[in-house]
Structure 1
Amino acid sequence: MIYLVFIVGLVVIYILVYGRYKKTLISVFFDPVELDSKVQGELRVVTYNIAGLPQIISSARTPRKDSIHCIGKKLNTFDIVNVQEDFNYNSDLFAGNVLPYRTLHKGKVPLGDGLNTLSSLPIIEYHRIPWQHCSGSDCLTPKGFSYAKILLADQVSIDVYNVHANSNDSEKAALARRNNLLQLAQYIHDHSADRPLLVMGDFNAHYAFKLDNLPIFLKKTNLVDAWVSFCRNNSFPAVNPNFVAQDMLTLTREEESLDKILFRNSAEVSFYPTYYQVDKDIFVNAAEEPLSDHLAVIMSFKWEYKEENHNPSNSSSI
């Protein structure tokens, strides 16, 4: 009886502590970094769900520890990296990576949100924000989105969001996901008004799925879907009442991925997409097996800064 009371007590304490921790907002600011003055440049970015859940529950086909260490090394050629499901093997990811700027790992399952940003360019601040709505197993970790302010050059910065929305296509899950995107849209409105944006991550959403609200999200934020604009000449997929998601490892750039790269220009900074790919060549092992249960989405941009449009208020911290 005493043993049972002890176990129940531990469970209650865990629930109370986890519930409080899950709702905790994390904000980190770094010391200023001096960069050269530039008015144009290029960016190579990637978003990648790296399947970092514990091996025993992972749906990825390859061993997680070795695969994630390999992913870390292969990310070194990118300028800005957003990863999702970076849970239990973060030390392996970071051990293989030499990008000088990165967000601090929040923790393993169930305390971490799985989101990290790595960059060749200075991250001067970042914030982690948990979702207000979730369903099913998504409620077992504090999933959400993160914000990072990244310097491209002296006096030139952009806001980068990393997203992992609620999964599954049941009605309850889709409702939570719609609320996720509305929450993110409101945060962008409140904290990134008139700012140049990159929003990258695992949205778990499709334009073709009738219960998703991606078009509403784009309209509220004035974001552009890089795949739709670059690969489909701004033609959105039609809603399919019988929609069934395709196996993620069979996708090409011709099909819609859950993993998306969105961007928004500002009066000061403009992005010009030059390359888009759903990767099947880089993030594979020696046997050419995918290193995750998702395929990385890669994008290249040219960017241009218009100094004559500079507004000091748009460069301040949120």
Structure 2
Amino acid sequence: MTALMKQNIRRITTVLVSSAMSAFATVQTVGNFSVLSMNTAGLPDFLQGNDVPGDKTENHRMIGAKFVEYGYDIINVQELEFKLNLGQDFNYHAALYSTASLPYRTPTSGGVPFGSGLNTLSRYSFTDTTRVKWNDCSNFGGADCLTPKGFTLVRVLLSSSPEGYAYVDVYNIHADAGVTNADLVARASNLRQLSEYIDNWSAGNAVIIAGDTNSRYTRVRDEIRILTRENGMTDPWVELIRDGVDPTEETICANPTTLSYCETVDKMFYRSSPVLNLQAIGWSYESSRFLQPNGDILSDHNPIVATFSWSLPASLRQSELYGGPHDTWFSDTGVLSRIFSPRISTIRFRGGSRLDAVSVAHVDGTSITHGGTGGRASELKLTDGETWTEAKLCLGQRNNRTGVFAIKARTSAGRTLTAGSSTEDCAEFVAPGGWGIVGFVGGSGSEIDKLGFLFAPH
């Protein structure tokens, strides 16, 4: 075989591989997934019977098996991990997990009075699991202060490909129950606390909330509309079942319910982000699927499920997140989404023993900086037509905290800029073909603890 023939074969192989990868990447820019929320009635009988027939341990085993049987992708459960040792063991968390064999599951946070009862199960991997207790509670309408009710956050990775990563922040919630004045005040406080947390810790991110809100649209003081008003969320039940109009008259659902039009306190909300489009395409009560063999209910709540489609936008995309779960979340998606065709003119880093700060200046004058003022400053001014196309990050630990210790930028012209101290725990990031790095997402304080990159087409 001649050298020319070998060269032609290599070219053909490269084309075929590139074509296959392009087709694969195209598939990875869109998809569907389901989210189910269910209060599993997991309080021990002597605390709350829930009027659910049968043995609660066996009921939870059946619930877990049905999660797998019907193939739900992301599941939020409430009232699950309550356990007391008073001569008996009420470990319903273990019972449900014994049959709910999804690959990713939050660990128990403890039993009464230490656990919140909130857990997430998923077919997709997730990181940054966070549990937050309500600032206010009331015991007037129920034993809400007996356990640390609140909400959880997991950052779910729906897809990863050379075309971009699709993350969604999934919140699980169990709000204060009851209808006394004290209950209404506490529940309104709960929802305000959640709304403010989303503003800070999910800024620029796609979000799904699914849980037991103990709220109804017809009880104005519940303040459930704060999530649509302040956080840009949409209720898929209102959107798809109620034709986009909040109910003004109370409608009580039977259990199990055969209707979709009636309202329960179990609710779901969602929003897109500049780097991930979300759209609800289905919603239903799953009551008929969660029954005992004799037809009895498995929980005193009707499970709810929504199906979402997702797609990566054509104007802004995100890389993998890399680093530790520390310090304050930041995202440049909001700033960049307001710039027509973002393009950077200068890259700036600060670093010494680790990475202190990252910064870019845009050709329109916009400047973006994250981190502190420590370390040595370094700068790279880009020439006309030059873009930032690749990056390398290295992680390390100090004082039992994982952070970004080093960064290296490489441009389309092959020029580089570095900062910090390299380690052996490194990852490389490459912008999609025809795109460039234009900003950041991650966590920082006086230094950079977590970092990801935002891409825009050039």
Normalising by structure 2, what TM-score?
Answer: 0.59
Mapped to 1, the partners of 2:62 and 2:314 lie a distance apart of 40
Report SS of the residue matched to 1:90: helix
Out of 48, 64, 67, the position equivalent to 1:75 is 67
For the structure 1 residues 251 and 106, does the alpha-carbon distance in structure 2 shift closer, same or farther, using more than 3 Å as the test? Answer: farther
**1:141 paired to 2:147:** yes
Query: What root-mean-square deviation, in Å, do the aligned CA atoms of Structure 1 and Structure 2 show?
Result: 1.8
Structure 1 counterpart of 2:49, from 58, 72, 90: 58
- Residue number in structure 2 paired with 1:276: 283
Q: Which moved more, 1:212-221 or 1:132-141?
A: 212-221
Structure 2 distance, partners of 1:217, 1:43, is: 22
Whether the 8 Å CA contact 1:149–1:159 is kept in 2: the answer is yes
Q: Which residues of 2 match residues 28-177 of structure 1 at below 5 A?
A: 38-56=28-46, 57-59=48-50, 60-76=52-68, 77-88=71-82, 89-136=92-139, 137-154=143-160, 155-177=165-187
Q: Distance in 2 between matches of 1:246 and 1:45?
A: 20
User: How big is the shift at 1:45?
Assistant: 1.1
Aligned with 2:189 (options 179, 203, 211): 179
Kept after mapping to 2: 8 A contact 1:171/1:211: no
Q: Letter of the aligned partner of 1:265 in structure 2? A: S
Per-residue deviation, 1:112: 0.6
- Bigger drift between 54-63 and 222-231 goes to 54-63
- Secondary structure of 1:163's aligned partner: strand
Of residues 218, 230, 240 in structure 2, which corresponds to 1:208? Answer: 218
In structure 1, distance between residues paired with 2:58 and 2:168: 33
Q: Could you say which structure has the larger radius of gyration?
A: 2
C-alpha deviation, 1:214, in angstroms? 1.3
Deviation at 1:153, TM superposition (A): 0.9
Separation in 1, partners of 2:29, 2:43: 41
1:184-234 per-residue CA deviation (whole Å, 9 max, x = no partner) reads 000000111121011000000000113211123320111001100011111
Look up the equivalent residue of 2:76 and give its one-letter code.
N
* 2:427 match: none
Q: Are positions 1:316 and 2:442 aligned together?
A: yes
Structure in which a larger fraction of residues adopt strand: 2
Can you give the 5+ residue segments of structure 2 that lack an aligned partner in the other structure? 1-23, 83-91, 320-330, 334-440, 444-449, 451-458
| Structure ranking higher in helix proportion | 1
Partners of 2:271 and 2:278 within 8 A in 1: yes
After superposing on structure 2, the runs of 4+ consecutive aligned residues of structure 1 that deviate more than 3 Å are 243-251, 311-315
Give 1:294 deviation, angstroms. Answer: 0.4
Distance 2:257 2:244 in 1: 23
Alpha carbons of structure 1 residues 251 and 220: separation in structure 2 relative to 1, 3 Å: farther
Shift of 1:121: 0.2
Equivalent in the alignment of 1:261: 268
Find the counterpart in structure 1 of residue 204 from structure 2: 194
Q: Secondary structure at the match of 2:148?
A: coil
SS in 1 for 2:247: coil
The separation in 1 between residues aligned to 2:45 and 2:259, in whole angstroms, is 27
Pairwise CA distance, 1:311: 5.1
Other structure's SS at 2:273 match: coil
1:107 Cα deviation from its structure 2 partner: 1.4
Matches of 1:62 and 1:87, distance apart in 2: 19
Task: Indicate conservation of the 8 Å contact 1:82/1:118, yes or no.
Answer: yes
The AA in structure 2 aligned to 1:99 is L
- By how many angstroms is 1:87 displaced? 2.3
The equivalent position to 1:252 in structure 2, one of 259, 266, 269, is: 259
User: In the aligned structure 2, how far is the partner of 1:226 from the partner of 1:166?
Assistant: 22
Report the count of equivalent residues: 280
Identity level (%): 31
CA contact (8 A) 1:39 1:307 kept: no
Q: 2:252 & 2:200 partners in 1: Cα distance? A: 33
Q: Which runs of 5+ in 1 are unaligned?
A: 1-35
Q: Which residue does 1:293 correspond to in 2?
A: 300
